Amino acid sequence: MIDVKQNVFFNARYKRNISVLKTKFFDLYSKILNCDSDKLSIYSSNNYVQVFKKNKLIFEGSIEKKLSNLFQDNLKLTALKPAQQSLKGEFLKRNPLFAKYYNQLHCLADEYANTENVFQVAKKDIGLIYVYGVIGGQQIIDLLENFNIRHLVFIERSIDIIEASLYFIDWVGVLDLIEQKNTHLNVVIDNDTQRLFRETLDTALKSNPVFIYSSMHLFQYKCNDFESCYNKLSLESGKLFEMRVVDTELRICKNTAFNMSKPRQVLQKRYFCKKSTKDSSIFAAAIVGSGPSLDESIKYLKDHKNNFTIFSCGSSLLSLYENNVLPDYHVDIERQHNIQPYINYIDKEYLNNVHVLYPIYFKERYEYADLFKSKTYFHVQNNYDLFFANVAEGDLLLSGGLTVTSYALELALQATFNVVYLFGCDLGYFNTQNHHAKGHVHYKYTYKYDAINMQVVPGNFKNHVCSDGVLYHEIETYETILKNYNKSCVLNTSNGAKVCNTFPIPSKYIYTNYYIKNNLYSIKRTNEINDQVFFDLCYLYYALIKDFKSMLFQKIYSFSTFIDLYMDLHSYLQNNLQDNSPALFNIINYTLLQYMHIVFSNAYSIVDEDLTIEFVEKANRILYDFLCDLEPELAELAEAVNEAR
């Protein structure tokens, strides 16, 4: 094998490539300059390459592949077609406006789409393609020459491998083609699988989330990190928008307007407490979830309940009640149909001794809220209370997650408890028969746990546990929260998934001599709703209808013009609504994205170009009908907001 760095031909290509990167891709150029090139060794023979960093092999493989093999061996499509196919009947019943047009689009797709042929490679237009590994050669050029690609994402584990590619790839030709084809290029580099996945997903969302469900994935070489990243993208993108459909957003917006129309108690970031007689006292919080390991800790909590400020989370309240443990605060984010099953089993006198905490969009008129000793709101980022009025200085503001325990964790950290313990916050399980603590309401009636997209993850105490769907997502949510509050000490007694930046400790080893309770502090607020919100909801909605009609009813001449149209629709939402009317944007954006995903992913599976265009034009009229059908709902909402002013 020849030493590539000593070869005149390879060195000439390297110099030419580094020069063009400096001119056309300075961010990547600067990263290459900052890597330790002297420690890099590269050897090649007959298109077979070995790359070493400090004498450690970091890449080995063939770098010459032809386009003829591209679709047979290396190209994948995320298995999410038709988009949002996992939505259940109960979910659709609770969201009739969303369901009406969701079902219409799927019925239309059934008339045209070929479900066996998920992706037609004969179509020359690609919305989004991920290329895993950039050290390969000719097939990147072939790809750009043969397809019109709107968004191209290069994914690599190390900047050293990127630098090695400068000796083999014609980056001058690649960047020239990208410029000619008006392709948007991103490069994601990270040797940590989780960060690699997160940055890759974020890049796609910022580029254009419309394309995620029909994204293509090209693997230039086999790598476990790449496979893991791909699998996580498939898992995560499947549930990106399904929780925030139009009916839910309208309900949340109305509830927020109702709650902000009168005085209310709002949590504060600081806390007040009685002065302790012990100078070394530690304010300790216990976050109690409903994971199966709560059964192991419940006796400890009962014996030491006076040493912690206890936050029950959602249905864990029932387990605490049945074991005679009274929490100081109960945190809930669910709607009434999810709360009633466990509240009905709890004595009213017990509830009357607990303070309840919930988001301001939680509907105060729910009967169960009045059963508690007091009710206090907290703010959540990117919710309607922030659009209606500015958050007052000192008010507690949470980033939000998918489970109530992540809210409680961040709440305790913002309230500056010295130490926070996690009990029953498993985020995983060892088998699907024991998915919650024994006292959980699910075991009181026939219930089959639906383990969607089960994953094996590192355990907190044991090597591995199972996690799935929302639980798997929340592992990262916890870790993100903990990074933002890295001065706090969080200890995890839960026998479930490992959470970075927490300290594993079985409950029997907790030493509580200096732990004492602490009270949260709230203040009465009487914020007034901004007049501009009312104006935006009315004026910008009618402007949206007018503009979308002109776009959705335009003639589609080719698959390429269809892709351009959906890029324009997404840009309109981002540029005209997101800043000018965030409330209206939140109400319609996620539903429109789901509808557009259904159209886009099914359009790819139709073989005939004329039938594809016919399908798209009919689907576009369904999208317009949805926007028109939204008018009475928005009028009712505008009236509610106006009354709240």
SS3 state of residue 391: coil
The one-letter amino acid at 50: Q
Position 327 scores a pLDDT of 94
- pLDDT at 364 > cutoff 70: no
Distance between CA atoms of 399 and 191, rounded to whole angstroms? 27
What pLDDT band is residue 336 in, cutting at 50, 70 and 90?
Answer: low
C-alpha 158: how far from chain center: 25
Tokens 């961040």, residue located:
410
Of 102, 105, 100, 66, nearest to 87 (Cα)?
Answer: 102
Better-scored residue on pLDDT, 274 or 265? 265
What pLDDT does residue 140 have? 80
Please give the C-alpha separations between residue 628 and each of 103, 169, 241, 550, 574, in angstroms, as whole numbers: 17, 51, 22, 14, 20
Residue 533: its pLDDT value, please?
73
CA–CA distance, 257 with 559 (Å, rounded to integer) = 43
* 71 pLDDT tier (thresholds 50, 70, 90): very low
Residue 608 tokens read as 């005939």
Note the pLDDT of residue 276. 47
**DSSP element (H, E) containing 460:** none
Q: How far is CA 130 from CA 178, 198, 218, 280, 312, in A?
A: 14, 14, 6, 54, 43
Paired residues of 53 in beta bridges: 40, 56
Domains and CATH numbers, the chain: 2-80+118-240 (no CATH), 246-252+528-644 (no CATH), 265-271+283-526 (3.90.1480)
Confidence of residue 191 (pLDDT cuts 50, 70, 90): confident
Q: Looking at residue 114, what is its pLDDT?
A: 65
Q: What is the pLDDT of residue 87?
A: 63
| 3-state helix, strand and coil shares in percent for the chain, rounded to the nearest 5 | 50, 20, 35
Report the length, in residues, of the chain: 645
pLDDT in tens, 584-633: 888 998 899 889 888 888 888 787 888 999 999 999 999 999 999 998 98
Of 73-77, 444-448, 523-527, 613-617, minimum mean pLDDT range: 73-77
Using alpha carbons, select from 431, 410, 553, 566 the residue that is nearest to residue 490.
410
Round the CA-based radius of gyration of the chain to a whole number and report it.
27
Three-state SS string over 503-524 comes to EECCHHHCCCCCEECCEEEEEE
pLDDT at residue number 613: 92
Q: Which helix (H) or strand (E) element contains residue 585?
A: helix 582-603
For tokens 């798997």, what's the residue? 472
Question: In Å, what is the CA distance from 284 to each residue of 159, 415, 456?
Answer: 44, 11, 32
Predicted confidence (pLDDT) per residue in 415-470, tens digit: 878 899 999 999 988 877 777 777 666 666 655 556 566 778 899 998 888 887 78
Look at residue 284 and give its three-state secondary structure.
strand
| pLDDT tens profile 572-593 | 988 888 888 888 888 998 899 8
Read off the tokens for 197. Answer: 């996945």
pLDDT at 68 over 70: no
Burial of 551 (0-12, 13-18, 19+ CB in 10 A): middle
Closest CA to 627 of 575, 573, 579: 573
Which ranges of 113-245 would DSSP assign to H, the alpha helix?
138-146, 159-165, 171-180, 193-207, 224-237
**Strand partners of residue 458:** 464
**Phi, psi of 446, deg, nearest 5:** -65, 120
Question: In DSSP terms, which residues pair with 59 in a beta bridge?
Answer: 51
pTM: 0.80
Identify the burial level of 431 via C-beta atoms within 10 angstroms of its C-beta, where 0-12 means exposed, 13-18 middle and 19 or more buried. Answer: exposed
CA 139/CA 572 separation, integer angstroms: 34
Residue 645 CB neighbour total at 10 angstroms: 14
What is residue 134's three-state secondary structure? Answer: coil
In 227-372, the DSSP E strands lie at 264-272, 282-288, 309-313, 329-331, 355-359
Give the separation between CA 330 and CA 337, rounded to whole angstroms.
17
Q: For the chain, what is the mean pLDDT? A: 82
pLDDT higher for 62 or 402? 402
* Most confidently modeled range among 33-37, 77-81, 102-106: 102-106
Q: Of 62-71, 445-454, 539-548, which one has max mean pLDDT? A: 539-548
**Per-residue confidence (pLDDT) for residue 271, from 0 to 100:** 47
What band does 79 get if pLDDT is binned at 50, 70 and 90? very low
**Average pLDDT for residues 62-87, to the nearest whole number?**
49
Strand pairing class (40-45; 2-3):
antiparallel
User: Cβ distance 364 to 380 under 8 Å?
Assistant: no
- Using the predicted structure, report yes or no on whether residue 86 has a pLDDT greater than 60: no
Report whether pLDDT(197) > 90.
Answer: no
3-state secondary structure of 465: strand
Q: Is the dihedral of CA 272, 275, 276, 281 positive or negative?
A: positive
Question: Could you give the percent of the chain with pLDDT greater than 70?
Answer: 86
Quick check: helix, strand or coil at residue 16? helix
Locate 59 and state its tokens: 């890449």
Q: How far apart are CA 133 and CA 143, in angstroms?
A: 14
3-state secondary structure of 75: strand
Tell me the HSE value of 409 on the side-chain side, using a 13 A CA sphere: 33
The pLDDT of residue 645 is 67
Whether the per-residue pLDDT at 97 is higher than 90: the answer is yes
Percent of the chain scoring above 90 in pLDDT? 22
